[in-house]
Homo-oligomer: A and B are copies of this chain.
Amino acid sequence: MSYDYDAFAGEEVLIIGGIGFIGANLAHRLVGLGARVTLIDSMNPAYGGNMRNIDGIADRVTVNISDVRDRHALPWLVGGKAFIFNLAGQTSHMDSMSDPFTDLEINAAAQLSLLETCRAHAPAAKIVFASTRQIYGRPQYLPVDEKHPIKPVDVNGINKTAGEFYHILYGEVHGLRTTVLRLTNTYGPRMRVKDARQTFLGIWFRRALEGEAFEVWGGEQKRDYTYVDDVVDALLRAALDPDCDGRTFNVGGGEILSLRETAEIVAAAADAAYAVREYPAERKKIDIGDYYSDASAFAAATGWTPTVDFAEGVRRTLDYYRHHLADYL
């Protein structure tokens, strides 16, 4: 497959969660492609929004501070858009357990109101929704493909399940053009590194660059990671390809690394140390054990494969934060 990314030139594009990690990286790419980009973000300090993320493109995008839960503002914002990248989400598994209602409002209820709004005001828009491997729960087999049972082990996984099911349903019943991508650990420049709310890698990078040993919980769990530029490329392919309409794909499938192997790579790249500690009891209840994705369906549909290996991605990420860490604390 080859895609004509120039198709985005001059197109009206909305990125929900556009000042956050993945959203801002996508915005940089789309601005480079000549798209007319509007970014919605709540700038809620618990999430990924950070104005430094749009340094260099701030004067070439429309910034609109609003929350995806604000259903009153959505009609105007959605109207006239050709592409909608729906990336806003509550991503913390622990927060979803301590405050399940907020997770429900953002990851389920707001998705429903967005889709209702699109029905009325942007029925022809292509919508790409970022979902998560978390919906599968503890893998019953590996690698996990899209046929794996859906058995979330936390409130976040349940609400994301509802959110992505609404997207497919509104395609089938109301004719919206939607694609769902189930992401695994995404990392790279512009990620949240203040804490572990986006992925544990964030806090690892921070600690490593601050010269402190970072903490590895457990160590044996296997994971796969996707560098953010690869995720951005996946989002663009899903948006451009009408054959992706109505479909749900895993995006992932790079190297499979144990947490300890992951830590070795980060520690070596940052010249830092790490300490292995026991997996905390209160997190164990919602731990998913080993996880890595089978992304072959998306590869077959779009030709997408990860192109940045983990060591290289870590190097690029650390390079970014060596210059920008203070902006992300």
Q: Name A residues whose Cβ lies closer than 8 Å to a Cβ of B.
A: 97, 100-101, 104, 108-109, 112-113, 116, 147, 149-150, 152-155, 158-159, 161-162, 165-166, 169, 172-173, 285-286
Enumerate chain B residues within 8 angstroms of A162, measured Cβ to Cβ: 108, 158-159, 161-162
Q: How many copies of the chain does the oligomer comprise? A: 2
User: Is the CB–CB distance between B173 and A286 below 8 Å?
Assistant: yes
Closest to A113 in B: B101
Known: A101-B113, A108-B104, A108-B108. A169 touches B153 (CB 8 A): yes
Distance of A308 from chain B, by nearest CB (Å)? 33
11 A–B pairs (Cβ distance < 8 Å), ordered by A: A100-B166, A101-B109, A101-B113, A109-B109, A149-B149, A149-B150, A150-B150, A155-B169, A158-B166, A173-B285, A173-B286
User: Is the CB–CB distance between A152 and B165 below 8 Å?
Assistant: yes
User: Is the CB–CB distance between B173 and A169 below 8 Å?
Assistant: no
Distance of A173 from chain B, by nearest CB (Å)? 5
Distance of A216 from chain B, by nearest CB (Å)? 23
Enumerate chain B residues within 8 angstroms of A97, measured Cβ to Cβ: 173
Enumerate chain B residues within 8 angstroms of A166, measured Cβ to Cβ: 100, 155, 158
How long is the Cα–Cα vector from A309 to B203 in the complex, in angstroms? 61
How long is the Cα–Cα vector from A109 to B101 in the complex, in angstroms? 7
User: Is the CB–CB distance between B101 and A112 below 8 Å?
Assistant: yes
Q: A104-B112, A154-B169 are in contact. List 18 more A-B contacts (CB 8 A).
A: A97-B173, A100-B166, A101-B113, A104-B108, A108-B108, A109-B109, A147-B149, A149-B149, A153-B172, A153-B173, A158-B162, A158-B165, A158-B166, A158-B169, A159-B162, A161-B162, A172-B285, A173-B286
